[in-house]
Amino acid sequence: MSESDTLVEILDEIRVTQNRQLMNVRMLAVSLQEVCQQLIDKIDRQGTTGYYSVNHDSLDIVRRIHRGCMELSLTRGWRERLERRMNKLEDM
């Protein structure tokens, strides 16, 4: 197997990972939107008389979104480096 073939396989795996992670981040963002809307509704209904938890779901969701975006950033960098390497191999 040539280096170029190996790079193509790795790039394919990265693209699959990126797409999976992108869908996950989107799902989490929608979830965060819903959680925040529920909180806004509660604030509007109950104001300062409501019970608010320090364990609110938003923190967990935001952390998961952050991790997902970080992974997307890393995999994009890897993909771009591999694509540049493939272009150099093709130019040879």
Distance, CA of 39 to CA of 34 (rounded, Å): 9
Task: Please report, for the chain, how many H helices and E strands are present, in that order.
Answer: 2, 0
Quote the pLDDT of residue 92. 78
Q: What is the pLDDT of residue 90?
A: 85
- 9 has a pLDDT exceeding 90: yes
pLDDT for 91 beyond 90: no
What is the structure's pLDDT at 50?
A: 95
Predicted confidence (pLDDT) per residue in 17-73, tens digit: 999 999 999 999 999 999 999 999 999 999 999 999 888 899 999 999 999 999 999
Query: Distance between terminal CA atoms of the chain?
Result: 17
Residue bearing the bigger pLDDT, 4 or 76: 76
Q: What is the pTM of this model?
A: 0.86
